[in-house]
Structure 1
């Protein structure tokens, strides 16, 4: 039995079962390797989307770097076996400069590069991230970091942009109207979540402050807003504003919908409001969709 020197890494590796590489018979040069993915024959069906998802990647949203979760894909013709997955990340990397800017212009550039490198008719991408921004308190104007979840989705073809969506989830305060109505004092309130997915008109010019516009619509229609920092005078304003503006989830979703309909760059939307009820073990929600 071979005597192993356990003071060396090689000896320890062998002690735990490592062996020498075998002398292989297959080529090691790329030009000599078989490319199965590029083989062509009748593979029965076209594929709508094939690619990668659950990809964590640095992004820049607004003024701050964040982390995005990506899905990227292309179409696949009936006579092609597969796509070259490495080209997906190579395409995304072309726009990485300390993070990929999470905005439609950048995403379209990535998709055009991806579609060209894959030699496919269509390419699509969805990216989720957390948008951070500075938000001052209502009275003392003490700023802290607030956040909302955002989603960008796009699909392009050889004829241009086919699909364009913007999503956002924001947190708000809601105060129960019936609780205020029946109680001698106080009313129960809770944190609410407002989630919207907008269908964007591909021909419309998107405002530079589209995230800010959407966030304001989601917040301003609630009973009150959430803030990173609140001093006593701020807290008084926040709680009194909530009491002055009671909202059922049904109220909130209708008020938000009205403002969304007035945005000329929006073709339609899906909207959901959910309250983490403070006097129940269940949540309350309302949901709607609308197309102009």
Structure 2
């Protein structure tokens, strides 16, 4: 049959990224407690399309994914990206997995355990002999307003916030380590299951640890700067303000190598 995608294109325009996204696929990722964890990812895969090709072969992206049967690790991520380059005759390929990641979490006083859901991501880009990888987490937390606490006779407004963190590292960094760094920088972590004694503790901790979005971003920056494995990071904090119609946010990107 005629290979239409391989037809010569005379417009002389290369396309930075061509591929498939939002492919839902079962995967297995590394878990420091249980060895592995099964989850479902939304997968995006793309290649740089040279100017001379009319299109790329979309089916080959899925074929590549099938070859690895959803086993995702730092090693297979690189192999997958490099295999995409080879299979699609491309000089650059990227692959990204976004997925829910579950952690068994103890309530702070009662110690009762429950599953807590976080968001996680693994992203790899292969360019010739170079490979670039980012590890990411999305973490819900609570923030309590320092200004509200200072000026109010009783109480202070507090709200749920969401932190997205991506890092490049020189060694293995577990999702749990990134999650812990984010939660430690917040007014208080969130929990799935709390008893009354836990609720009291969480409420009081938030009041004793007020955080603007700026504070949270800076506290997290200080923690990441202390970790020699992390060479680059991207922090985004969004607070769903409880007394405002709008959200508040703070973002920063740092490259420790420069």
Q: Give TM-score, length-normalised by structure 2.
A: 0.90
Instruction: Please tell me whether the aligned partners of residues 22 and 43 of structure 2 are also in contact (alpha carbons under 8 angstroms).
Output: yes
Q: Which of 12, 29, 37 is the aligned partner of 1:44?
A: 12
| Equivalent position to 1:205, from 123, 147, 171 | 171
Q: Aligned to 2:49, which of 55, 76, 81?
A: 76
Alignment correspondent of 2:159: 190
RMSD, aligned CA: 1.8
Kept in 2: contact 1:43–1:80 (CA 8 A): no
- Specify whether residues 285 and 40 from structure 1 end up closer, same or farther in structure 2 by C-alpha distance, changes over 3 A only: closer
Matched, 1:118 2:88: yes
CA offset digits 1:238-273 (Å, max 9, x no partner): 111111111111111110111112222323222121
Q: Is the 8 A contact 1:94 1:110 kept in 2?
A: no
Matches within 5 A, 1:1-292: 33-40=1-8, 42-61=10-29, 62=31, 63-96=36-69, 100-161=70-131, 163-198=132-167, 200-201=168-169, 204-207=170-173, 210-292=174-256
Match of 1:17 in 2: none
Instruction: Tell which deviates more after alignment, 272-281 or 56-65.
Output: 56-65
Distance verdict in 2 for CA 1:80–1:234, change over 3 Å: same
How many residue pairs align between the two structures? Answer: 251
* Unaligned segments of structure 2, at least 5 residues: none
Deviation string, structure 1 residues 49-104 (Cα, Å, up to 9, x no partner): 211112111122434322211111122233333222211101001111xxx24432
Q: Which has the higher strand share?
A: 2
Distance 1:139 1:174 in 2: 20
Separation in structure 1 between the aligned mates of residue 50 and residue 244 of structure 2, nearest angstrom: 52
**Looking at CA atoms only, which structure, 1 or 2, has the larger radius of gyration?**
1
Q: Is 1:121–1:157's contact at 8 Å kept on the other side of the alignment?
A: yes
TM-score normalised to the size of structure 1? 0.80
Which region of structure 1 is more displaced relative to structure 2, 46-55 or 244-253? Answer: 46-55
Instruction: Check the 8 A contact 2:136/2:175 in 1, yes or no.
Output: no
Residue deviations 1:158-185 (CA, integer Å, cap 9, x gap): 2131x22122210111111122222232
Asked if the contact 1:261/1:268 (under 8 Å) is kept, the reply is no
Q: Distance in 1 between matches of 2:48 and 2:152?
A: 59
Distance of 1:235 and 1:256 partners within structure 2: 24
- Alpha-carbon contact 1:196-1:272 (below 8 Å) kept: yes
For residues 158 and 285 of structure 1, do their structure 2 counterparts lie closer, same or farther at Cα, with a shift above 3 Å needed? closer
Sort the Cα spacing of 1:75 and 1:284 in 2 relative to 1 into closer, same or farther, 3 A: closer
Kindly indicate whether the alpha-carbon contact (under 8 Å) linking 1:43 and 1:81 is maintained by their aligned counterparts in 2: no
